[in-house]
Structures are given as structure tokens and as C-alpha cells.
């Protein structure tokens, strides 16, 4: 049993409760605009909830390094605002109807308003970060935003095609794991960490983010719509090949490969049904393969924490990978 197993979600939440409440309040305050539609869209997105795992990572990294100031709350809100901006843009690009069990913002307000609201959120995040007067913080956030945009463009270019594992990992790093990495790095900057410490804890974030996205992709294929809060197999319907699918494409029979490619190219299950795809993935051990990869990245994340001194915050960081791979939505 890992050291993380002694920690529970409630213990971690209690450890960060006051700061997470403050981040939520800061997020709400920073979402206000003189333009009503921006306030309404930002409020709708914020009220949609979420795990708030990224700001939690920033808080834990900073506290594990002895930081006790208020900038962690402001930057925690910045991280969540950036994440929210990416979600509203993703829903527009993916033509999504549902997000977390509710109509997506673009369905409620239309694409044009939501694109601009997402842009406003990005700029608001940078405005708040600028108040820190720290070039390293701005450098991290600018690089992050560029990588996330590049990831979205790369995904659009590869939509409807088979990916290699290397291409898949490149995509999910840019779209997901880089934000986990930067959340840890921002905590390190606040904690006055050396560049070496920042790199190591950044690698924790990277590995954790990879595990998080792999599990997300498996759940997209296997969980129910009620649990996910959105239609199942959305990725395949959008022409996206995730890790289990990539594995099956490289290990399945020619007929199985043809069936998978039919769904990816058609962006629907009209020629080949969802159950058929699931049976192919199970027969080739592809879902298990993806989950083994997620567990491996989670364990890799934990190993990066050896550089930290013992503390309740380190124990919480040791627990987070278990939470990421064991979740059901």
C-alpha cells in the first residue's frame, strides 16, 4: 500500500478548505464584468463546478515548500480561470451540447459570445497574474497558453485519423498535462524553490496530468452518460483516437482496425456500433493497457515527491495520484 493510501479526500479537502473557498470567491469576483453577457457566461461556467484539482495542486506545492502568503489564492483563481476558458473554447470547437450534465455555454449563448467570453477570461487571468510583478509567473502562463492552443490545433489537424502513441501523448500533454505541470511550477515559484526543485515537481504535475487524461479517455468509452454528465464515447464521435483506441488499431485484426477507422472517419456509430468498438477494445486488452499506463504515470508522479520534506502537504500530494486513477467520472 502506498503512503498516499492513508490519506482520504476529506482529509485533503479539510487541509485546503479555507484556501479553496477563498479561491472560489476570488474566481467569482474576477468573473464580474461591466458587460452583462460576460458575467453571465463566466458565472454559468463557474457554477458548473469541477474538481478544482489544478488550484489544489498549486496550493499543495506552495505549502509543501513553506509558503503562507495570499498570492496562492490569486494564482489558484488564475489557474482555474484559464482552465475554464479552455473548456468554453473546447465546447465550441467540438460542437458540444452538454458539459457536466448541463447545456454547454455555447448552446445557451451561442458561439460568438462564448468565443469572446473565453478570450476575456484569458485576458482577465493574465491581468491578475501581472499584479504579481513576477516575470517567471508570466513566462509560465504565456508558455502554457501557447502550448494549449497548439495542442488544440494539432488535435484538429489529426481529427479523423489514426494516431501513434507518441502523437497521442504529445496531444494530451499540451491539452491537459501542461496545465497540471504549470500549477505545480507556480506553487514552486511562490515557495521560492530552486529551478531543480521546480523541474522535479513540474514533472510530478506532468505525469499526474497524463494519468488524469488517460483515465478521462477510458471513462469516455466505458462510463454511463449519467455518470459522465455528457454523451458516452464523445471522443470517437468527434474523430479522436485515444490511447485504448490507438492500442487496438495497432494490435487488432484488419477487420477490427477497419471497424474502428469507420467510426473515427465517419464521426458517428452508424456503420459500426459502440458495443462493437467496446468488444474490440476488450478483446485486445486495450482498455487494460490504457489503465496500466495511467497507473504507471501516477506512480512516476509519486516518485518525484521524494525531494520534498515530510509534511501533511506532501502526504496529500502523494494521495492525489490515487484519486486521479480511481475516480469514476
For the stretch 202-250, pLDDT in tens is 999 999 999 999 999 999 999 887 777 777 888 999 999 999 999 999 9
**Per-residue pLDDT, 231:** 78
At 180, phi and psi to the nearest 5?
-65, -45
Kindly report the three-state secondary structure assignment for every residue of 136-193. HHHHHHHHHHHHHHHHHHHHHHHCCCCCCHHHHHHHHHHHHHHHHHHHHHHHHHHCCC
Q: Which residue has the higher pLDDT, 9 or 29?
A: 29
Please report which confidence band the pLDDT of residue 7 belongs to, taking 50, 70 and 90 as the band edges: low
pLDDT tens digits, one per residue of 136-156: 999 999 999 999 999 999 999
> Is the predicted pLDDT of residue 6 greater than 80, yes or no?
no
Residue 166 exposed, middle or buried by CB count within 10 Å (0-12, 13-18, 19+) = exposed
Predicted TM-score (pTM) of the model is: 0.93
The grid coordinates listed for 254 are 484488419
| CATH 1.10.600.10 given to domain 1-133 | yes
Largest CA-CA distance found in the chain, in angstroms, rounded: 59
Task: Copy the grid coordinates of residue 110.
Answer: 451561442
Looking at residues 167-186, what average pLDDT do you find?
Answer: 97
Q: Is the pLDDT of residue 10 over 90?
A: no
What is the distance between the terminal CA atoms of the chain, rounded to a whole angstrom? 24
Please give the Cα distance from 221 to 287 (Å, whole number): 9
Q: Which of 306, 301, 289, 101 is nearest to 207 (CA)?
A: 301
**What is the chain's mean pLDDT, rounded?**
93
Quickly count: other Cβ atoms within 10 Å of residue 161's Cβ. Answer: 13
Mean pLDDT computed over 275-296: 97
Q: Look at residue 4 in the predicted model and tell me its pLDDT.
A: 41
* pLDDT-derived band at 297, boundaries 50, 70, 90: very high
pLDDT of residue 1: 33
Measured over the CA atoms of residue 242, residue 248, residue 250 and residue 254, the dihedral's sign is negative
With the C-alpha atoms ordered 208, 214, 220, 221, is the resulting torsion angle positive or negative? negative
Q: What is the pLDDT of residues 92-127, one digit of tens each?
A: 888 888 877 788 999 999 999 999 999 999 999 999
What's the pLDDT at 5?
A: 42
Is 70 exceeded by the pLDDT of residue 277? yes
User: Cα(311)–Cα(144) distance, rounded to whole angstroms?
Assistant: 29
Helices 195-222 and 165-172, packing angle to 10 deg: 110
Domain 149-309 belongs to what topology?
Farnesyl Diphosphate Synthase (1.10.600)
Please tell me the predicted confidence (pLDDT) of residue 3. Answer: 42
Residues contacting 134, CB < 8 A, separation 6+: 189
| Stretch(es) of the chain classified as CATH 1.10.600.10 | 1-133, 149-309
Confidence of residue 2 (pLDDT cuts 50, 70, 90): very low
Amino acid at each position: 500500500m502506498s503512503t498516499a493510501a492513508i490519506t482520504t479526500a476529506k482529509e485533503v479537502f479539510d487541509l485546503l478548505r479555507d484556501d479553496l473557498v477563498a479561491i472560489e470567491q476570488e474566481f467569482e469576483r474576477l468573473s464580474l464584468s461591466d458587460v452583462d453577457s460576460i458575467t453571465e457566461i463566466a458565472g454559468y461556467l463557474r457554477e458548473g463546478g469541477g474538481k478544482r484539482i489544478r488550484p489544489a495542486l498549486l496550493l499543495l506545492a506552495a505549502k509543501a515548500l513553506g509558503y503562507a502568503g495570499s498570492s496562492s489564492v490569486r494564482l489558484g483563481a488564475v489557474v482555474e480561470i484559464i482552465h475554464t476558458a479552455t473548456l468554453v473554447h473546447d465546447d465550441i470547437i467540438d460542437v458540444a451540447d452538454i458539459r457536466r450534465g448541463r447545456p454547454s455555454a455555447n448552446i445557451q449563448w451561442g458561439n460568438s459570445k462564448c468565443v469572446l467570453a473565453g478570450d476575456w477570461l484569458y485576458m482577465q487571468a493574465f491581468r491578475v497574474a501581472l499584479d504579481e510583478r513576477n516575470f517567471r509567473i508570466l513566462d509560465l502562463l504565456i508558455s502554457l497558453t501557447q502550448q494549449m492552443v497548439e495542442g488544440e490545433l494539432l488535435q484538429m489537424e489529426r481529427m479523423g485519423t489514426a494516431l501513434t502513441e507518441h502523437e497521442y501523448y504529445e496531444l494530451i500533454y499540451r491539452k491537459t498535462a501542461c496545465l497540471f505541470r504549470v500549477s505545480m511550477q507556480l506553487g514552486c515559484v511562490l515557495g521560492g524553490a530552486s529551478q531543480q526543485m521546480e523541474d522535479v515537481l513540474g514533472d510530478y504535475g506532468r505525469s499526474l496530468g497524463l494519468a488524469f487524461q488517460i483515465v478521462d479517455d477510458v471513462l469516455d468509452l466505458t462510463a454511463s452518460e449519467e455518470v459522465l454528465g455528457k454523451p458516452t464515447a464523445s471522443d470517437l464521435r468527434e474523430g479522436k483516437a485515444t490511447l485504448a483506441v490507438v492500442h487496438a488499431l495497432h494490435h487488432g485484426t484488419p477487420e477490427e482496425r477497419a471497424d474502428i477507422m469507420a467510426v473515427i472517419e465517419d464521426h458517428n456509430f452508424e456503420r459500426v456500433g459502440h458495443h462493437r468498438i467496446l468488444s474490440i477494445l476488450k478483446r485486445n486488452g486495450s482498455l487494460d493497457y490504457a489503465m496500466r499506463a495511467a497507473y504507471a504515470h501516477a506512480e512516476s508522479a509519486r516518485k518525484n515527491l521524494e525531494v520534498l520534506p515530510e509534511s501533511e502537504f506532501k502526504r496529500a500530494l502523494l494521495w492525489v495520484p490515487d484519486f486521479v486513477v480511481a475516480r469514476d467520472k
